[in-house]
Chain A
Amino acid sequence: MATRTDRQAGAARAGAGGRLFGWLDDRFNISPLIEFMRHKTVPVHRHTVWYYMGGVSLFLFLVQIASGILLVLYYKPDEANAYESVRFITTKVSFGWLIRSVHSWSANLMVFFVFVHMFSTFFTRAYKRPRELTWVTGFLMLAMVMGFGFTGYLLPWNELAFFATKVGTDIAGVVPFIGNAVKVLLRGGDDVTGATLTRFFAIHIALLPAIFTAILAVHLIFVQRQGMHEPDYVQKLPPEKKSLMPFFPNFLLRDTLLWLMVLNLLLALAVFFPWELGTKADPFSSAPQGIRPEWYFMFMFQTLKLIPAHVLFMDGEVLGIMAFMVAGLAWMLVPFWEAKRRPGGRARPITIIGVLAIVYMLAMTIWGYLV
């Protein structure tokens, strides 16, 4: 039940806003919630900048929803019409070129910022108790974002996308036991066809958004409930030495500022580096030179290319994929197996592992493009 002081504080808000608040509070008792939010603070220290990365990822997701909904008003998800409908959007629909390029660029930026967000929480060890599940839900979302990228890439039905999907689903099919079933499930058949397109479309605009939104909500609730993680050196400070900023309105306003700049960046990219249409996919033509997955899959793709065809008793590709799956699982479970204490001032093993991971991914990605 709202206390008198809460109510009074609420009613003290002038005008229509206050009356609306009163009306809602009467029915839903939101005053305690508002009070809780009012007192939220964000630690200020030299790593505060990384706190914004999650918000930017969220912003980009919202941009994707908005631009995606606009695109789906004109896009046709069947083999005969997909390519032409995208061409229609980019040439005939007013500002269609803008919405489409924003959607494509925002997808790439979102993957980038999600990785940055993930690594920044990793290196500040924000995944430690009590935030293990925040990390796990975050990792699940990272995987889904890459799934968004993979399914969305096929939708314009151009040559590169068609063959990239073929190669990608072929790789998925290599997993032992369940691989073929997964491949057929993804493709809607044995080959990449119009059925694949329809299926990917459904996954991209319905299945993934639903699951992602649910997990995102949980992730955000965790963050709001637990507050921001403080790096070790900040935790050791006495309370009066800690610098804090209120979440409302300071942090939020700063967030808005950053979001505005990111939006402008997106517009700049859309105008000066518009996304290509490509040539329409022809399932009967042979694969063009240089099929590549999108950049965020490149490190895996390049790794698979480097593994020899047979390693001991295992097929090289299978080994590679299993290795990545094990690595992914280990990464997701980091909060549970990472050593609790580490004496001395030397770098923790986990930090070294993280740095190695980044170096590996960067190196493989660059290598993939050089070849």
Chain B
Amino acid sequence: MKLNRRDFTRILLGGGLLGWLGSALYPVVSYLKPPKIPEGNVQSVKAGMVADFAVNTAQIVKFGRKPVILLREDNGEFKAFSATCTHLECIVQYRGDLKQIWCACHNGLYDLHGRNVSGPPPRPLDEYAVNVVNDEILVSRMA
């Protein structure tokens, strides 16, 4: 089949237009779908179900770019603090035997209010708010 110029141009135009529209609309539609984590500056983070969290234990949770230590006290209450030691920025851990937060780097100790009680740390740990919603643990910034 011989294509005359008009038809060729028409096909080119139609095909080009469709292709172009697709390549233009695809990014826009993709953009409109929200990413998995819907916000930039993280205001709150989900940290699992209450039932999965044993008493007198702790976990490190990622809060945006910062590590946060989430711990459960003996009475079942949750507490969360910045996990970056205020001395030289090592990651702290929870000591179930001492019932305090401990930094292995230079033996710094913080009580369960985040206050620096022993060792080199010069400042307390920043506290984060913990709420339980529908049996799910939610860690968020203090108001």
Residue A289 at the B interface, CB < 8 A? no
A185 to chain B, nearest CB (A): 29
Name the interface size band of chain A. Answer: 20 to 34
Residues of B within 8 A of A95 (CB): 27-28, 30-31
**Are B31 and A93 interface neighbours, CB within 8 A?**
yes
Chain A 31-46: CB-based contact to B (< 8 A → 1; otherwise 0): 0000000000000000
Out of A84, A86, A96, A260, name the residue touching B31 (CB < 8 Å). Answer: A96
**Are A92 and B41 interface neighbours, CB within 8 A?**
no
A103 to chain B, nearest CB (A): 12
Residue A314 at the B interface, CB < 8 A? no
Main secondary structure of the interface of A (DSSP, over half): helix
**Are A92 and B35 interface neighbours, CB within 8 A?**
yes
Interface size on B, residues (CB 8 A): 13
Out of B28, B33, B35, B40, name the residue touching A76 (CB < 8 Å). Answer: B40
- Name A106-158 residues within 8 Å CB distance of B: none
Residue A250 at the B interface, CB < 8 A? no
Number of residue pairs A-B, CB distance < 8 angstroms: 42
> Given A73-B32, A93-B35, A94-B35, do A84 and B27 touch, yes or no (CB 8 Å)?
no
Chain B 1-42: CB-based contact to A (< 8 A → 1; otherwise 0): 000000000000000000010000001101111110101110
Residues of A within 8 A of B27 (CB): 94-95, 98-99
A263 to chain B, nearest CB (A): 8
Out of A81, A87, A94, name the residue touching B30 (CB < 8 Å). Answer: A94
Interface residues of B (CB under 8 A from A): 20, 27-28, 30-35, 37, 39-41
List 16 contacting pairs A-B, 8 Å CB cutoff, sorted by A.
Answer: A70-B31, A73-B32, A74-B40, A84-B40, A86-B40, A87-B40, A88-B40, A88-B41, A89-B40, A92-B40, A93-B35, A94-B33, A95-B28, A96-B31, A99-B31, A260-B20
Interface residues of A (CB under 8 A from B): 70, 73-74, 76, 80-81, 84-89, 92-96, 98-99, 260
